Structure 1
Amino acid sequence: MTAFDQAERRSWAGQATAYASSFAKLCAYPVPWVLDAAEVCAGTRVLDVGTGTGTAALAACERGARVTAVDAEAGMVALAARAASAIDVRLAALPHLPFGDHEFDAVIGNFVLNHVGRPRDAVAELRRVTRPGGRIAVTIWAVPGAPGQALLGQAVQAAGVARPAHLPALAPEDDFPRTEHGFAALLSEMGLADVSCDTLTWNHRTTPDEWWSGPAAGVATIGQIVRSQPNTIIMEIKGHYDALSAQFADPDGVLMLPHAALMAHGRV
């Protein structure tokens, strides 16, 4: 396990409920496109890796698929298990999945590759558990991000806060370009065929309080950065957030935050 993986485990420990009430709705947007790209339909044996609260797994169940899901955080596993009794949910993390070779017709990973220290090893593991001819579909956040994605980070930067040393970035030799070409190349490099990558864009509708609740609770890397600061600095970040978020507010005060994700998919 890399230092990045270890930091991710610490960052997400105990955060399932806070994630469910803050960022989960945002991350649910690509699910229909991911399932379509993986050709999920009735009878498909599907593995959802990094299931989170189980949104994609539940949607696959609703299509009549036979669904197994895994997550690295026990709280997420508990939430996903409650989403539908038909889902076989297990505690597991990339790049080591507790399944034999070629067990699944389709493997999906909605934003899970944003949270692994060695993306190439992770994709290789997704490929290992997918049958020949089966499909893999995965998403990541686009870089540079859309304006709504940058909002919280801009508030942190405006307060003069740098990324703490206990939150290491991905090692340069393990990273890849977070572009359509770069993401597609990653899947092709790991042996997938007929690879393509699309950019998904949408406006995430939320309230200022809901969007702030994630980092305020320590959810994800941005939350860990915020929570590691003294109260005076947290309040300064919040002040910048309030000012910056006003540009995205509609007349009723609801935020419309532009986001962009990349969805890459291919055949084993």
Structure 2
Amino acid sequence: MEISHEDVSFGRCAKLARVTNAEAYDRGFAHLSSHTVAPLLALACTSRAPRLLDVGCGTGVVTSAALALGAEVTAVDTDPGMLELTARRHPYATIRQATLPELPFEDEQFDAVTGNFVINHVADTAGALKELRRVLRPAGTLGLTWWKADEMTATNVFAEAIAAAGLPYDPPARPFTGNDTPPRFTALLAGAGFQAATVETLRWRHQVDLASWWTDVVQAGGARFGMIARQPPETVESVRAHYDRLAAPYAREGFPVCAYLARATH
């Protein structure tokens, strides 16, 4: 494992807070995103123990699965708390802090690159794709997933609850929105030099205890819903009441969720 002190260096209190947020993320969002791990790795792990780069590793759901398949995994993320948790759980992975579109690796270093719901957080999509291709060996494989925003009931229910509570809400801009359709993203992959690009649609039901889902999403913080926990208690209670009402129809069968999976080769 490679994890430098300058990569993950912060005070004890800040560290505990970051790890606590990461643990909440792991119970919530990471569980949600784990549904796409198997198809994401299907193309990447076609050879024995490939050198795989897990970009935006989060708490390591892809890293864990890739290690189990025999891959030699390097995992990168921008968040120190995520890296701390992933490093603790997966001592045989190489852990580095990095933020797209810049990666601290030499050209053609990996046989496969995967990114599970990270490309949708990158402002410079075209630049990020070129960087991912740079670190891939010739004939190496790329797999990336992102959410279909208008079919993300599991998180949209929080935005709807905030609005129903009358809380001023200015969510962060989605820089990826202009690139999130399969035709547009396929064109970007081709523009970055990738070959044989395809995009698959994945749909599933996210079955989860509704009370736990509320707790984990709110505790995880983040740019979109971290503001809930910072409100006065009575405001939090109002948002929670609307969440309970809006989420109730999905208690039995789960939230309908949709994502895209792009595959391509160097």
TM-score, normalised by the number of residues in structure 2: 0.86
Q: 2 CA distance for matches of 1:228 and 1:201?
A: 33
Residue 180 of structure 1: how far off its partner (Å):
2.2
* Residues in 2 aligned to 1:263 and 1:130: alpha-carbon distance in whole angstroms: 18
Q: State the match for 1:65 in structure 2.
A: 71
CA-to-aligned-CA distance 1:27-72 (integer Å, 9 cap, x gap): 1110110101334442211000111111111111111111111111
**Residue-by-residue CA offset, 1:130-173 (whole Å, 9 max, x unaligned):** 11111110011113224334222221221233433xx53145xx
Aligned residues: 249
Are the structure 2 counterparts of residues 41 and 83 from structure 1 closer, same or farther at C-alpha, using a change threshold of 3 Å? farther
In the alignment, is residue 34 of structure 1 matched against residue 32 of structure 2? no
Provide, for residues 166-206 of structure 1, a one-character-per-residue CA deviation record: whole Å limited to 9, x for no partner: x53145xx642422223322222222110000111111111
Kindly indicate whether the alpha-carbon contact (under 8 Å) linking 1:149 and 1:257 is maintained by their aligned counterparts in 2. Answer: no
Query: CA–CA distance in 1 between the matches of 2:51 and 2:69?
Result: 11
Superposed, 1:63-212 pairs within 5 Å as 63-164=69-170, 168-171=172-175, 175-212=177-214
The answer to whether the 8 A contact 1:41-1:63 is kept is no
**3-state DSSP of counterpart to 1:227:** coil
- Structure 1 equivalent of residue 262 of structure 2: 264
Q: How far apart in 1 are the matches of 2:66 and 2:49?
A: 10
For 1:78 and 1:13, the matched residues in 2 are separated by 7
Counterpart pick for 1:216 among 196, 215, 218: 218
Letter in 2 for 1:267: T
Return the offset for 1:14.
6.4
User: Is 2:51 the partner of 1:49?
Assistant: no
Q: Match of 2:207, SS? A: strand
| Cα separation, partners in 2 of 1:190 and 1:13, compared to 1, 3 Å | farther
Deviations 1:2-32 (A, max 9, x none): xxxxxxxxxx896212211222111111011
Where does the alignment leave 5 or more consecutive residues of structure 1 unmatched?
A: 1-11
In structure 2, list runs of 5 or more residues that go unmatched.
1-17
Cα distance in 1 for partners of 2:19, 2:130 equals 26
Q: Percent same amino acid at aligned positions?
A: 36
* Aligned counterpart in structure 2 of residue 17 of structure 1, from 10, 13, 23: 23
Measure, in 2, the Cα distance between the counterparts of 1:40 and 1:219: 36
Cα distance in 1 for partners of 2:200, 2:168 equals: 32
Aligned-residue CA RMSD (Å): 2.0
Structure 1 41/29 Cα, relative in aligned 2: closer, same or farther at 3 Å?
Answer: farther
Give 1:233-252 correspondences, 5 Å limit.
233-250=235-252
CA distance in 2 between counterparts of 1:189 and 1:130 reads: 16
The residue identity in structure 1 corresponding to 2:261 is M
SS of structure 2 residue aligned to 1:64: coil
Helix, strand or coil: the match of 2:149? Answer: coil
Partner in structure 2 of residue 4 of structure 1 = none
TM-score by length of 1: 0.85
Of stretches 84-93 and 37-46 in structure 1, the one that deviates more from structure 2 is 37-46
Separation (CA, whole Å) in 2 of partners of 1:41 and 1:80:
24
Distance 1:73 1:14 in 2: 13
Distance 1:53 1:265 in 2: 23
In the TM superposition, residue 228 of structure 1 has moved relative to its aligned partner by 4.2
Give the SS at the match of 2:114.
strand
Q: Secondary structure at the match of 1:85?
A: coil
Contact 1:149 1:258 in 2 (8 A): no
